[in-house]
Structure 1
Amino acid sequence: MTTITRTSTCNLCEAICGLRLELTDGAVTAVRGDPEDPLSRGHICPKGVAIADVLVDPDRLRAPVRRRGPVEDPTWEEIGWDEALDLTADRLSGIVNEHGADAVGVYLGNPNVHSLGSMTHGAALAKAIPTRNRFSATSVDQLPHQLLAHLMYGHQLLLPIPDLDRTELFLAFGYNPMASNGSLMTVPDFPARLRELKARGGRMVVVDPRRTETARVADEHLFIRPGSDVHVLLAMARVLITEDLARPAAYVDGLDRVAAALADRTPERAERASGIPADRIRALARELATAGRAVVHGRIGVSTTEFGTLAQWGVQLLNLLTGNTDRVGGAMFTTPAIDVVGRGLVGRGHRGVWHSRVRGLPETSGELPVAVLSEEIETPGPGQVRALLTMSGNPVLSTPDGARLDRALGGLDFMAAVDFYINETTRHADVILPPTSHLERDHYDLVFNALAVRNTARFSPAVFAKSADQRHDWQIYAGLVRRLGQRLERRSSVRKRLVTRARLAVSPTRTVALLLRTGSSKVTLRALRRAPSGIDLGPLREGRLPDRLHTRDGRIDAAPDLVLDDLSRLDAAVAPPAGSLQLIGRRHQRDNNSWMHNAERLTRGRARHQLLMHPQDLASRSIADGSRVRVASAVGSVVVEVQASEDMMPGVVSLPHGYGHGRPGSRMHRAASVEGVSINDLTDTEILDVSGNAGLSGVVVTVTAE
């Protein structure tokens, strides 16, 4: 036997950990963290260990397939690439030519941002179909962050990142990096970084409705009612202003308007909404102002609420008012080797250029809220979505009222998917075009290097060569763009099509080489090939502002009109009925959103699909621990086992995100230990943040014995 070691990247999640793969006779026999990686420092989570399981997964598609028969009992037949690409282009272009461009919807799932080929070539495919019905996982995740970054800092991806390696106080709202490895804060090896924070005398405070894995190791955990973070954050900002603790930079405008808007948002008012004592809210604000190096960050538990944008505005205000934005140990801006913001590789963002057909909701940065997808398919008339192209996504499990979307997909005239699994969404597809998997393609991270707690750069060439009958995602996109350009009646000019074709012929790796060579970092692809563990570019740099801003006047507007106007909606919101239960999601380190649940390595052991519920709430309803219960919301109901947990705040229940694989025709439920239901069969498309982000957290439910 011949054994070699290869260095690579785990790009399954935002942590982008470095890997050491042991290969014996061409097969992966061991996966370890790379101790020389300057960002992940040898850390690896269970998903990284399982990355090779995806490579050899018998459920993974390796050739295009066409569905014959009904969705519930299909026959999938392999077809050639030319036939698959022609079929897809023929059907999509035919529908556009007959019904208009908006008759085709496009949905991009989370894995696209983890693929170099999707980042360099995916946008061309989305633009090849000039539809306004574009959707993505962004509007069930981080859209409030991006909208505020656009409004306050001038670019949707100019996101302040906690300088975790040097802070003295880390205040985290709705955040569980022990499970997620960080999100919009790329922070592999979080456990070690938290130990280092404590070793230098620092503190971490977690505010969350559940005592999460992160809350258990924090210095302090405060229970909070779901969706009420906004009240606490704004009350803390008011304390800073009224007690003369604010020390904002000179380039921050609109503070008088902020003070006026927060005048009546007292800690006592926040206590009534959140359950956190007013005195503790005041003390936390004062500690934030006097800690020296401090930072506040809020994540998915804050963003996926009805007032996610207002809450994230509160986060930005706290960092700005304390002077901790653009300061060591505070909220800082990265200096990546390929600056996707500074180079204009991603647009600055916009809002309201067009609106959805049925409900009239505004687009944000070119995408409509995915919460409107079902109604756009179901509602007849000009612009009705009659065909759908999904790119590495599973919205039936990951977007609100998934059961309704599941039904709606059955009414499409045509559906195609770029995906290597037949999952709960792609089972509806007429044709599936499978790309290569993670270890079969080159990788350089364009986005998460721009969100990392340390500036680094790493290029990982493919560990395994693709076979002759496989296609990379970028090759699939290029093939579709070329065919669509030939078939659409309203074609672009010959010159424009030739330019697009030439650009798409350039591989992602060559694109990275060009971007590095023309950038200011002095890092080259050749240098990265010589340093497979990556190159350390140093800690986050202080003093990037105001030069780093992309606002028209080079200043920060702390009081955007859109945000201030939404305060009236917050004031009019009706509190959940007394004694009601509120539903929140949860994540686990062994879960990867809605997939990898057919990896036996990740699913063995104790089941984790149950509804978590406080013992008091069980007792008051005469429900036995371990029994089956019906959980019902305004849009649907599910039946699942319940588990008593004192980690839950009384009045709050929790289901894991990404479960519900039992639908006929899906091949994602091979492991017997994976049971459970989809939390998004309970979430409501009508509950939306002003950004269009779905309000998935804090849904009012009833729980009864089954």
Structure 2
Amino acid sequence: MAETVQTFCRICEALCGLEVTVDGDQVVDIKPDDDHVATRGYGCLKGLKQHRMYDTPDRLLHPMQRTDGELQRVGWGDALGSIGGKVRELIDSHGPDSIAMYVGTAAGFGVLHPVFAQGFMQGVGSANMFSSATQDCANKFAVARHVYGFPFTQPFPDLDKLECLIIVGANPAISKWSFLQVSNPIRRLKEVEARGAKIFIVDPRRTETAKVAGEHVFIRPNTDVFFYLSFLHELLATSGIDRARIDQYMTGFDELCRVAEAWSPERTAEVTRITAESLREMVRAYREADGAALYCSTGVNMGTNGSLAFWLQECINAISGNLDRAGGTLVSTGVIDFPAFGKKTGTLLHDNQSRIGGFPSVNDSMPGGILADEILTPGDRQIKALFVTGGNPLITMANSERLREAFQQLELLVVLDIQPSETASVATHVLPCTSPLQRPDLPFVFPLMLGLQSKPYLQATRAVVPPKGEQRDEATIYVDIAKASGVKLWGSAAAQRTFEAAKALHSIGRGARQPSIPQELLLSGLLRITKQGSFKNLLKQKHGRLRPEHEPGSFLGKRIVHDDNKVHLAPDVLVKQAEKLEAD
């Protein structure tokens, strides 16, 4: 007998509400949830057809281990024993940094998966964490730490109230926005424009976004930093700043002014191909609007000067008086004040350095671009083992042939995934994981802990269908790998014992089903600790539960985690880098 249940999508940041029709243990249809409190009946093609991917014949059902050059099916006991034994051997022989982990985007869209993956690596004692974020958005995290004191402090446009929006190097019509949960971005942009707001799309091509809303402004590829410099120059020249706000809440304004001094619109036009007239028109619209925002994404992030460009953008939004105001850019909160928690605990604030190149960690992660070198270069702290969780770096990372060569030299390569992948094809072990529809969940860290939502809400979902074969959720897998490796999650013997016991108790009476930690209980504990009620009660609000609206004026002077509680407009490292632009 078929039944329909409510859940939400977890394959991108939009987290669209869904209605899933289930017949037995099979998903037969997915439709948008018309009554969802925030996403209002929207769903993209990928989200509405995702069950077809999860039900393909090549879906991983059993652990695989490489024997005589071929991946062969083994039991969980054998796989875990082999992995754990090699981890212990490598730590004893080469130290904890010989063990590394790559965390992919798929891991980030759940709550428990990244927490337990990080817990395992902390138990190992290794600083060799890599992630897909270092490929397309590490600039935002690095700049935010310098400017605001915490990498996850990411202001976002107040789409419902702004009067001018300038989108640089982003295509939300396709990407569904980034660093902000916005369902149905095409409709939202049309709504913004319909109420009279001006929208400019600064991009080397006329994107899908530029075709549906706003005015397209062509820019020469990889020249974004010069656009921002002349924008800042013109804003200062036309007194488009809030000096009282700057003096009260910010430092480094004079140094920032010197950075922009030489970059007039006429000068940058030669590089960007944006005429001085067009540049001044955008600045005028931005300056005269009762609430405006500059916003960028991967087109800027992955450019040569992505960090400088994002820094200048944040400074412009700040000094113009648009930061932390209705219609400008907002810094919201989730179920806790996560930046304050991070500062107190050191979460995401470790100052590690890579062995190759001496690069600083960002969000406690090393640059993905040096992973092959870290594996292939002999010496102390050389990576000998790699766990790949929720990602496929042989497809997503540059110079994949060299990375493949590096992966083939590893003594241990463990891939946790739902399907065979390019990376899994060279792995020593492949472990079958549950899909998003096979696990309970809450919205991931950005909306849950940071409030990065255009419309704040909270939602819980149970597993829509059960796991098949020997599939296990990633959190349980890391509890098991830690035990087999003789390490303690987060370096805590108490935590390790607690989760092993919780798994044992929760697995009683499960029959042929795979053992599991009590995921719903853990999620409920998180909700209760943050005073959001229980998981069970949240489930009753099957279309989601609205949270309080964002509060403009709640950030500046109150929630910045720098010791002086101010926005740092001119961090030395960024100012010095900007000085080199003359050579470009």
> Is the TM value for this pair above 0.5?
yes
Once residues 389 and 29 of structure 1 are traced to their aligned partners in structure 2, the CA distance between those partners, rounded to angstroms, is: 33
Q: Which amino acid aligns with 1:232?
A: F
* Aligned CA distance change for structure 1 residues 425 and 570 (closer, same or farther; 3 Å): farther
Task: Report which stretch shifted further, 157-166 or 243-252.
Answer: 243-252
Determine the structure 1 residue equivalent to 2:546. Answer: 536
Once residues 143 and 335 of structure 1 are traced to their aligned partners in structure 2, the CA distance between those partners, rounded to angstroms, is: 21
Which of 379, 382, 393 in structure 1 is aligned with 2:380?
382
Determine the structure 1 residue equivalent to 2:137. Answer: 142
Which of 216, 219, 240 in structure 2 is aligned with 1:245?
240
Determine the structure 2 residue equivalent to 1:3. Answer: 2
Determine the structure 2 residue equivalent to 1:407. Answer: 405
Q: Which amino acid aligns with 2:62?
A: A
Once residues 364 and 38 of structure 2 are traced to their aligned partners in structure 1, the CA distance between those partners, rounded to angstroms, is: 32
Determine the structure 2 residue equivalent to 1:91. Answer: 86
RMSD of aligned Cα (Å)? 2.1
Counterparts in 2 of 1:444-455, with a 5 A limit? 444-449=442-447, 450-455=451-456
Counterparts in 2 of 1:451-470, with a 5 A limit? 451-467=452-468, 469-470=470-471
Determine the structure 1 residue equivalent to 2:485. Answer: 484
Determine the structure 1 residue equivalent to 2:512. Answer: none
What is the deviation of 1:424? 1.4
Which of 213, 221, 225 in structure 2 is aligned with 1:218?
213
Once residues 573 and 347 of structure 2 are traced to their aligned partners in structure 1, the CA distance between those partners, rounded to angstroms, is: 17
* Aligned CA distance change for structure 1 residues 172 and 347 (closer, same or farther; 3 Å): farther
Determine the structure 2 residue equivalent to 1:265. Answer: 263
**Residue 492 of structure 2 aligns to a residue in which SS?**
helix
**Residue 364 of structure 1 aligns to a residue in which SS?**
coil
What is the deviation of 1:560? 1.1
Which of 550, 557, 562 in structure 2 is aligned with 1:551?
562
TM-score, normalised to structure 2, is 0.91
**Residue 456 of structure 2 aligns to a residue in which SS?**
strand
Once residues 453 and 494 of structure 2 are traced to their aligned partners in structure 1, the CA distance between those partners, rounded to angstroms, is: 37
Q: Which has the higher helix share?
A: 2
Alignment deviations for residues 231-274 of structure 1 (CA, whole Å, 9 cap, x no partner): 10121111111221112522122111111121112112221221
Task: Report which stretch shifted further, 508-517 or 92-101.
Answer: 508-517
* Aligned CA distance change for structure 1 residues 409 and 467 (closer, same or farther; 3 Å): closer
> Do the aligned residues in 2 keep the contact of 1:327 with 1:542 (CA within 8 Å)?
yes
Task: Report which stretch shifted further, 409-418 or 429-438.
Answer: 409-418
* 2:69 corresponds to 1:59: no
**Residue 67 of structure 1 aligns to a residue in which SS?**
strand
> Do the aligned residues in 1 keep the contact of 2:139 with 2:307 (CA within 8 Å)?
yes
Once residues 424 and 465 of structure 1 are traced to their aligned partners in structure 2, the CA distance between those partners, rounded to angstroms, is: 26
Higher relative contact order (CA 8 A, sep 6+): 2
Once residues 410 and 266 of structure 1 are traced to their aligned partners in structure 2, the CA distance between those partners, rounded to angstroms, is: 51
**Residue 28 of structure 1 aligns to a residue in which SS?**
strand
Determine the structure 2 residue equivalent to 1:202. Answer: 197
Determine the structure 2 residue equivalent to 1:283. Answer: 281
Once residues 49 and 283 of structure 1 are traced to their aligned partners in structure 2, the CA distance between those partners, rounded to angstroms, is: 41
* Aligned CA distance change for structure 1 residues 65 and 349 (closer, same or farther; 3 Å): closer
* Aligned CA distance change for structure 1 residues 396 and 143 (closer, same or farther; 3 Å): same
Determine the structure 2 residue equivalent to 1:167. Answer: 162
* Aligned CA distance change for structure 1 residues 501 and 151 (closer, same or farther; 3 Å): farther
- Structure 1 unaligned segments of length 5 or more: list them: 574-706
What is the deviation of 1:44? 0.1
Q: Which amino acid aligns with 2:496?
A: T
What is the deviation of 1:338? 4.8
* Aligned CA distance change for structure 1 residues 508 and 168 (closer, same or farther; 3 Å): farther
Determine the structure 2 residue equivalent to 1:113. Answer: 108
**Residue 410 of structure 1 aligns to a residue in which SS?**
helix
Q: Which amino acid aligns with 2:21?
A: E
> Do the aligned residues in 1 keep the contact of 2:90 with 2:384 (CA within 8 Å)?
yes
Once residues 469 and 427 of structure 2 are traced to their aligned partners in structure 1, the CA distance between those partners, rounded to angstroms, is: 25
Once residues 316 and 212 of structure 1 are traced to their aligned partners in structure 2, the CA distance between those partners, rounded to angstroms, is: 24
Once residues 27 and 363 of structure 1 are traced to their aligned partners in structure 2, the CA distance between those partners, rounded to angstroms, is: 43
Task: Report which stretch shifted further, 336-345 or 375-384.
Answer: 336-345
Aligned residues: 561
Determine the structure 1 residue equivalent to 2:509. Answer: none
**Residue 329 of structure 1 aligns to a residue in which SS?**
coil
Q: Which amino acid aligns with 1:539?
A: E
TM-score, normalised to structure 1, is 0.76
Q: Percent sequence identity over matched residues?
A: 29
What is the deviation of 1:112? 1.0
> Do the aligned residues in 2 keep the contact of 1:307 with 1:570 (CA within 8 Å)?
no
* Aligned CA distance change for structure 1 residues 408 and 468 (closer, same or farther; 3 Å): closer
**Residue 547 of structure 1 aligns to a residue in which SS?**
coil
What is the deviation of 1:342? 4.3
Counterparts in 2 of 1:245-644, with a 5 A limit? 245-247=240-242, 249=245, 250-344=248-342, 347=346, 349-350=348-349, 353-449=351-447, 450-467=451-468, 469-485=470-486, 496-502=492-498, 505=502, 507-519=518-530, 522-545=532-555, 546-573=557-584
Determine the structure 1 residue equivalent to 2:514. Answer: none
Once residues 555 and 192 of structure 1 are traced to their aligned partners in structure 2, the CA distance between those partners, rounded to angstroms, is: 36
* Aligned CA distance change for structure 1 residues 20 and 339 (closer, same or farther; 3 Å): farther
- Structure 2 unaligned segments of length 5 or more: list them: 503-516
Once residues 266 and 97 of structure 2 are traced to their aligned partners in structure 1, the CA distance between those partners, rounded to angstroms, is: 49
Once residues 160 and 95 of structure 2 are traced to their aligned partners in structure 1, the CA distance between those partners, rounded to angstroms, is: 52
* Aligned CA distance change for structure 1 residues 341 and 527 (closer, same or farther; 3 Å): farther
Q: Which amino acid aligns with 1:380?
A: P
Once residues 52 and 121 of structure 2 are traced to their aligned partners in structure 1, the CA distance between those partners, rounded to angstroms, is: 30
Once residues 489 and 430 of structure 2 are traced to their aligned partners in structure 1, the CA distance between those partners, rounded to angstroms, is: 27
Once residues 200 and 523 of structure 1 are traced to their aligned partners in structure 2, the CA distance between those partners, rounded to angstroms, is: 37
Q: Which amino acid aligns with 1:413?
A: E
Determine the structure 1 residue equivalent to 2:33. Answer: 34
* Aligned CA distance change for structure 1 residues 208 and 346 (closer, same or farther; 3 Å): farther
What is the deviation of 1:354? 3.4
Once residues 358 and 470 of structure 1 are traced to their aligned partners in structure 2, the CA distance between those partners, rounded to angstroms, is: 37
Once residues 348 and 227 of structure 1 are traced to their aligned partners in structure 2, the CA distance between those partners, rounded to angstroms, is: 33
**Residue 511 of structure 1 aligns to a residue in which SS?**
helix
**Residue 200 of structure 2 aligns to a residue in which SS?**
strand
* 2:11 corresponds to 1:12: yes
* Aligned CA distance change for structure 1 residues 216 and 291 (closer, same or farther; 3 Å): same
Once residues 523 and 235 of structure 1 are traced to their aligned partners in structure 2, the CA distance between those partners, rounded to angstroms, is: 49
Once residues 346 and 429 of structure 1 are traced to their aligned partners in structure 2, the CA distance between those partners, rounded to angstroms, is: 35
Once residues 31 and 12 of structure 1 are traced to their aligned partners in structure 2, the CA distance between those partners, rounded to angstroms, is: 14
**Residue 352 of structure 2 aligns to a residue in which SS?**
strand
Determine the structure 1 residue equivalent to 2:505. Answer: none
Alignment deviations for residues 187-240 of structure 1 (CA, whole Å, 9 cap, x no partner): 111111112112211122111112111111122111212221111012111111
What is the deviation of 1:340? 3.6
